[in-house]
Structures are given as C-alpha cells and as structure tokens.
Amino acid sequence: MITINIQNNIAVLGINIANQPMNVLNNESIPALSEALEKVYTNPDVKGIILTSERPEFIAGADLKMILQNNGRAPEELFKLSMSLNTIFRKMETNGKPIVAAMNGTALGGGYEVCLACHHRVALNNPKSIIGLPEVTIGLLPGGGGTQRLPRMIGMEAAAPLLLEGKRVSPKDALAFGMVDQLADSPEEMFQKAVEWIEAHPIAVQPWDEVDKKTGKIKARENFKVPGGNVLTPKGVQLMMGGTAMTLAKTQGNYPAPIEIMSCVYEGLLVNIDRGIVIEARHFVKVANSSVAKNLIRTTFFGLNEVNKGAGRPKNVPATQINSIGILGAGMMGAGIAYVSAQAGLKVVLKDTSLENAEKGKDYSRKLLQKGIERGKMTAEKAEQILALIQTTDIYESLQDVDLIIEAVFENPSLKANVTQEAEKFLREDGVFASNTSTLPITELAKATQKQENFIGIHFFSPVDKMQLVEIIVGKQTSDYALAMAMDYVKKIRKTPIVVNDSRGFYTSRVFSTYTAEGLELLRDGVNPVVIENVAKQIGFPVGPLAVSDEVALDLAYKISHESVQAGVLSPDDTAYLISKQFTEMGRLGKKAKAGFYEYPDPSTGKKKYLWEGLSQLFPLNSVQPSAEDIKQRLFYRQVLETVKCFEEGVLRTPLDADLGSIFAWGFPAYLGGTLSFVDTVGIVDFVKECDRLADTYGERFRPTTQLREMAKANKGFY
C-alpha cells in the first residue's frame, strides 16, 4: 500500500492503494501511511522524507463512501476519527525531519491536505493534474487541517475562493496562488528538487511552528502572523462580514458548509495551529453529520456517477451503433440537439421545411462555436470539423440510413404523426425513432409509426447545450433495444439520462407544473407576490414560480391544462388552469409578450422586470399574511407529493431518477437531495404529519397517499 525506498539517507514513500480505483484516504490507507511514516521517523539513517504516489494521481481525496457511512455517528466518535487523521498530519510537521510532497498528479481534498502538512511542495507541471479543496461542493469542509494551514500559508483572502467555492486549479495556477512551492517539468526534476530542498533544510519547521527553546522540540507558535493580516485587523474584520454576506447571498444559508468554513478560519486563526485544528474538527463533525452533505454526496456525487454510467440501461442489450442522427425541426430545440450531437462527433442531418430554416438552426452551432473560439476553449479548426458534421436539408431523403431520428417539431400530435411517417421510411432498418416532446404521451405518438417498439421519447431541456439532463420516456410498446440505443446516444453526448414510463407530462413536466401551480395558489390566497417570489428563491429555487410561469408562457400553460381538463384528469376549478386562462384572455402571455405576472420594461430603459401592479386588483392582499415557513412548505410539499404519486404510479422507476430529475430539470434545491430525498431528509413520519397539517389548512391536494401512511407506520423512507 505504501512502499518505502531509502536512498542516500532520503526515504521515498510511494502511495499505491491498489484495491481502489484511485489513491484515496480511507480506513486502510490512513493507518498504512501513519505506519510507514513512523518507520522512517525512527530510522536514524533517514534524514529527510519524500511523499509521492506510484499512480498517475497523487491522492484523489478522502473515500466518500467512508464519509457517507459515518454520517449520523455520535459526534464524539466522529470527532475522534477526525482528530486521529489530524494527529498524523501534525506529527508530519513536528517530527523534525523535513518532508517534501512530490505531487506527481492530482491532489484533491484530503490528498492536498497531506501536501499542506508537508514542509515543502513540488508539483509535476502536468496541466491535466488538478489541485484543490473541493469539499465544500459536496457539503463538507476540509477536515484535515486545510482550513487552518492554507490561510496560514497564503493568507485569508487568497484562501477564500479555494475554501469557500472549492476552486480547483492546475499546478501552474497552484504555484501562482502559493498552494505549491515549486513546479517540475519531469518526474526526475521533481525528485531532484525535493532532494535539494531536503538537503538545504536539515531541520524543517512550519512557519506556524517554532522550536521550544527549553525542550528543543517543535511546537505551535503563538502570535503567528497570517500573511496579508490576522483576523483582528480592519481588513480581517471586513473580510469576515463581507465574506459571510457574499456567501449567504450565494447560498441563501441553505448550505451550511461555507459558513462553517468561515468559522474555522475565523475561530481557528485566533489561536495557535494545535487549537485551530481542534476547532476545525468540531466544525467538520457538524458538516459531516449534516443532511446536506448526505444528500449532496448521495445524489449529486454517487447517484450522478451511477446514472451517467448508465444505471437504467437494459443489461441484456449489447452496445448499439450510433454514428448518425437525423433531427426534424431546426427550431431552438432541434438546433440545440444538432449542436450537442455534432460536438460528440455524430453525423447530423438537420431537416426543416426550408433550407433557409435549417441553416438558421445550424447558425446556432456557428454562434456557440464562435463564442468558444473567442473564449479560447475551441480552435477554429476543431470548430470547422464540428460544423462540417451538420448537414442541413429540406428533404426527407437526406435522412437515408441514419441510426437515430429525433423529432423536434411543434407540440401538435397530427403534425408530429405526419413528419414521423415521412421520415421513418429513411431510418436505418433497426434504427430508433424518438420524439422530443415535453408532454405528449409517447404511446399515442408511437401509433403513427410502423415499428412502435422502436419509438421512444427523448426529452431535452432548454437550452440544450447548457441543460445536463435528458428525460427518456418509455412508451407501452417501447423495446429494451430502443431504450438501450437512446441511452447509448445520451451517453455519447455526455448528458445525464433519467428513464421514466409514459404518462401525461411524464415526470419532470408534471411535477414542475405543481411548483408554478402552488405559486398561483398562493397568489390566489392573497399572499404578497413579492414574498412568494423571494421566499422561493430563498429556499433555493433558481427562479420564483411567477417569474418562471412567465418564462414558460401562460398561453402554453393554459393550452396544456386545458387539454388535461378536457381529458378529465384536471378539475375545471383548478386555480392554475383558471389563472392561466384569465391571463391568456387578457393577452398577458408572459415574458414573450412583455406582460404576464411581471412587466418587462424595454431593455433600453435599463430597468429590470417588476411585478405587474394589476396583480393587487386581481388578487387583493390578504390582511393576514402567512409565515415564510408556510410558503416554503407549500412550495416544497406540493412538488414532493406529486413526485411520490409518480413513483407510486410507476412513472418513475427509481428514487434516484426522481431526485436527479428534480435537481437538473427544474432546479429543485440540491441541498435537499431531490424530491424523494426530501422525504427522507424530513423523516417519513414528520413528512406525513406535515402533509396532513397542510391538507387541513390549505386543501386536500396536500393529503398524503395511503402508501405514504404505510411507509410512516413502518418508519421506512425511500432510501
């Protein structure tokens, strides 16, 4: 696990955690590292130590499985665990022998904290290596002394973005930040520089330590001066209030880790390094035990990886062949799908009713690629290659033998049926036909085709190039083969697929509509619309329900809800239906009409959009306004309950698809782990109780399902 090579009085410790896909810090590697270090500390022949890795990466971080398993343990135990790692790091600093980190590759999180505990850092200048402390992005904080050593090394201000945003940098940038001390162009040079440093520093003491004059031992220095200023300086004070404000402005206080990190720096830098590390460990216990860390690690780390690897793909189907794709309709969606497909190296046939329209669709790619060139993310040559992959056309014959066709024309069933029949003839014999509809039932659309088993829904989100999620909809007749091919395609374009079964609005559109619908219920109840919008943003939604209704367009909402009413699945008294009808009739169609719930002043005026004054006449403010807490609960519970119903009805196949779909399709807050993790975060018993309270107060739409009551009885959640 850790090899020791001693040459010319210098011990080289090589880390190689062979039973893991990458070098990680876990219950096995940490004791092994400690043991190897002890051996060389006590070996009188060893004058200096070089710590390196025998794999491409240095250390990729702590084992998150271990972190997840520890979530919920007693604080005393977690604190002890955290301190045991810190004791090893602290001994590295104070053992007296110089230790140099020879950072041959990526060093993240705990991996970089090992380097911080060394006396000197030489990094191999490989631009692909990444260095940083990304703990905050999964709800954690650097608990191996990172919040203490980094600001003591490079100053609080420089450390702030690295700690608070989890910024990852290349070795070159790490040198500029002061995160590493030297770069080397080759492994040989790296070791040579490490050796030279050791020879020049036979006794190594960290700047925050000093040699005790009486005992000769290395101990924590009192009154250490932090580079750039201590906490108790006007600048430090400003940094604390300003930094806290900026952090909260970004997180709305929904993510505890950044504030805990600020606390580590604030409290920890007021005392010596020994006590600072104890303080950090306490804050680490808080975040490691938080529901936010649990949710982020489970859903957005492990869950996302699992789904991206194709968790929902039928195992019995061998890899499918997709080299070319036909796209029907070069509107905004079609143009976006063409762009992401060409970027993935697929041959694209982009068809519209005229060549001019198809070229307009291709212009979208031209524009994005040009932007990429301007930002230095794309070469002109590469852009040319990508563009060459997109063939525009106005005739169906051009689709001859494509592997996959995605139809992205207007949401009109008869139009869709028509183009499907025209195009299908040219599809490869065993090709798959997909519709990019956001609401129309796939099983119905499939009826237009010759091979219903090869028909599937591939629902992209707008803008296609930015939205990571794709919702794959399996119709009644859809085969495993078609599903496998759709997933292989989504993997090729490097997007995240969730798989759902057919139903009106599928999963994402259906649940998302409850978010806007509850916003309208609140409005109808006479709740101050400013408060509705601001509370929605405070609890973590990217856009308030009224603003997003305007963006979707109220005539579209009316059209969809009208269809539901006609189909008998929605009551004609439904609030969202009635309000969207009323606004459509008034001509206040939303953002596109520059009038909806908001007013949209001409951009030339420099004025931002603002809530329409007329709302106060249509929906007079109730003299009693609900608490922000109740508004929050209504917005959350409505969506979560609808998700539960999707799950119970079999629209959703796994809780993970529900969670990832909610986060990536409409921005359900990630700190809650998604719509079903929400139930587990609250706790099933409390969740059901709160549903009943909301139902008693605000209406039957909040009443929990029978299945939920049974789950509560058994105290069993979704995970």
Partner 1 sequence: MNEAYIYDAVRTPRGRGKSDGSLHDIQPVQLAQQVLEQLRDRNQLDTSLVDDVIMGCVTPIGEQGADIARTAVLAAGYPQSVAGVQINRFCSSGLEAVNMAAAYIMSGQQELIVAGGIESMSRVAMGADGGAMMMNPQLIATHKFVPQGISADLIATKYGYSRQAVDQFAVISQQRAAVAHADGRFSHSMFGVKDEIGIEVLNYDEGMRPDTTVEGLAKLRPSFEMMGQMGLDQLALMKYPELNEINHVHHAGNSSQIVDGSAGILIGNKAIGEKLGLKPRAKISAFGVCGSEPTIMLTGPIPATQKVLKRNGMNIQDIDLFEINEAFAAIPMLFMDVLGVDHSKVNVNGGAIALGHPLGATGAIILMTLLDELERTGKGTGLASLCIGGGMGIATVIERI
Q: Tell me how far apart the alpha carbons of residues 556 and 30 are, in angstroms, rounded to a whole number.
A: 57
CB 147 to partner 1: min, Å: 12
Annotate each residue in 52-71 with x if it binds partner 1 (CB under 8 A) or - if it does not, as one string: --------------------
Q: Are 293 and 372 in contact (CB under 8 A)?
A: no
Among 62, 220, 231, 553, binds partner 1 (CB under 8 A): 231
| CA nearest neighbour of 534 among 611, 474, 472 | 611
Nearer to partner 1, 204 or 262 (CB): 262
- The owner of tokens 């002061």 is 178
Options 182-190, 248-256, 490-498, 700-708: segment touching partner 1 (CB under 8 A): 248-256
Among 178, 207, 229, 253, binds partner 1 (CB under 8 A): 253
Options 91-99, 244-252, 303-311, 348-356: segment touching partner 1 (CB under 8 A): 244-252
Options 191-199, 243-251, 478-486, 488-496: segment touching partner 1 (CB under 8 A): 243-251
Among 246, 388, 569, 685, binds partner 1 (CB under 8 A): 246
Options 123-131, 255-263, 306-314, 339-347: segment touching partner 1 (CB under 8 A): 255-263
Number of residues that bind partner 1 (CB under 8 A): 31
CB 539 to partner 1: min, Å: 10
Q: Are 506 and 476 in contact (CB under 8 A)?
A: no
Nearer to partner 1, 361 or 596 (CB): 596
Nearer to partner 1, 211 or 271 (CB): 271
Position 624 contacts partner 1 (CB under 8 A):
no
Among 262, 399, 448, 474, binds partner 1 (CB under 8 A): 262
CB 531 to partner 1: min, Å: 5
Residues annotated as catalytic are 459
Question: Under rule CB under 8 A, which residues in 175-214 are in contact with partner 1?
Answer: none
Nearer to partner 1, 105 or 544 (CB): 544
Q: Tell me how far apart the alpha carbons of residues 488 and 522 are, in angstroms, rounded to a whole number.
A: 42
Among 148, 263, 295, 681, binds partner 1 (CB under 8 A): 263
Position 628 contacts partner 1 (CB under 8 A):
yes
Which amino acid appears at position 548 of this protein?
Answer: V
Q: Are 631 and 612 in contact (CB under 8 A)?
A: no
Beta-carbon neighbour count of residue 45 at 10 Å? 10
Q: Tell me how far apart the alpha carbons of residues 3 and 595 are, in angstroms, rounded to a whole number.
A: 69
CB 268 to partner 1: min, Å: 12
Among 23, 129, 247, 509, binds partner 1 (CB under 8 A): 247
CB 342 to partner 1: min, Å: 40
Nearer to partner 1, 253 or 683 (CB): 253
Position 248 contacts partner 1 (CB under 8 A):
yes
Nearer to partner 1, 239 or 500 (CB): 239
Between the alpha carbon of residue 51 and those of residues 3, 81, 112, the distances in Å are 10, 23, 12
Q: Are 91 and 109 in contact (CB under 8 A)?
A: no
Q: Which residues contact 286 (CB under 8 A, 6 or more apart)?
A: 256, 260
- The owner of tokens 């090394």 is 153
- Structural tokens at position 43: 């070996």
Q: Are 99 and 92 in contact (CB under 8 A)?
A: yes
CB 378 to partner 1: min, Å: 33
- Structural tokens at position 648: 């119970």
Position 528 contacts partner 1 (CB under 8 A):
yes
Among 242, 345, 572, 699, binds partner 1 (CB under 8 A): 242
Position 109 contacts partner 1 (CB under 8 A):
no
Position 241 contacts partner 1 (CB under 8 A):
yes
Nearer to partner 1, 202 or 242 (CB): 242
Identify the H or E element spanning 661.
Answer: helix 655-666
Nearer to partner 1, 304 or 535 (CB): 535
CB 529 to partner 1: min, Å: 10
- The owner of tokens 């938080």 is 290
Among 243, 590, 596, 717, binds partner 1 (CB under 8 A): 243
98 by Cβ neighbours in 10 Å (0-12 / 13-18 / 19+) ranks as: buried
CB 534 to partner 1: min, Å: 4
Q: Tell me how far apart the alpha carbons of residues 78 and 70 are, in angstroms, rounded to a whole number.
A: 7
Q: Are 89 and 117 in contact (CB under 8 A)?
A: yes
- Structural tokens at position 36: 């190897």
- Structural tokens at position 177: 């930040």
Position 230 contacts partner 1 (CB under 8 A):
no
Among 389, 535, 635, 651, binds partner 1 (CB under 8 A): 535
Position 606 contacts partner 1 (CB under 8 A):
no
Q: Tell me how far apart the alpha carbons of residues 298 and 673 are, in angstroms, rounded to a whole number.
A: 8
CB 625 to partner 1: min, Å: 8
| CA nearest neighbour of 438 among 419, 402, 418, 464 | 464
Between the alpha carbon of residue 380 and those of residues 76, 303, 377, 389, 465, the distances in Å are 58, 36, 10, 15, 19
231: Cα separation from own chain's centroid: 33
Position 531 contacts partner 1 (CB under 8 A):
yes
CB 196 to partner 1: min, Å: 41
Q: Tell me how far apart the alpha carbons of residues 676 and 652 are, in angstroms, rounded to a whole number.
A: 11
Question: Under rule CB under 8 A, which residues in 632-651 are in contact with partner 1?
Answer: none
Options 118-126, 262-270, 302-310, 655-663: segment touching partner 1 (CB under 8 A): 262-270
Position 252 contacts partner 1 (CB under 8 A):
yes
Cα dihedral across residues 149, 152, 153, 158: positive or negative: positive
Position 237 contacts partner 1 (CB under 8 A):
yes
719 by Cβ neighbours in 10 Å (0-12 / 13-18 / 19+) ranks as: middle
Question: What's the first-to-final CA gap in the chain, in angstroms?
Answer: 34
Nearer to partner 1, 170 or 244 (CB): 244
- The owner of tokens 């060893």 is 46
Q: Which residues contact 107 (CB under 8 A, 6 or more apart)?
A: 57, 58, 59, 101, 114, 115, 123, 129, 131
CB 628 to partner 1: min, Å: 6
Q: Tell me how far apart the alpha carbons of residues 634 and 545 are, in angstroms, rounded to a whole number.
A: 12
Position 271 contacts partner 1 (CB under 8 A):
no
Give the interface with partner 1 as residue ranges (CB under 8 A): 231-232, 234, 236-237, 240-250, 252-253, 259-260, 262-263, 266, 528, 530-531, 534-535, 538, 610, 628
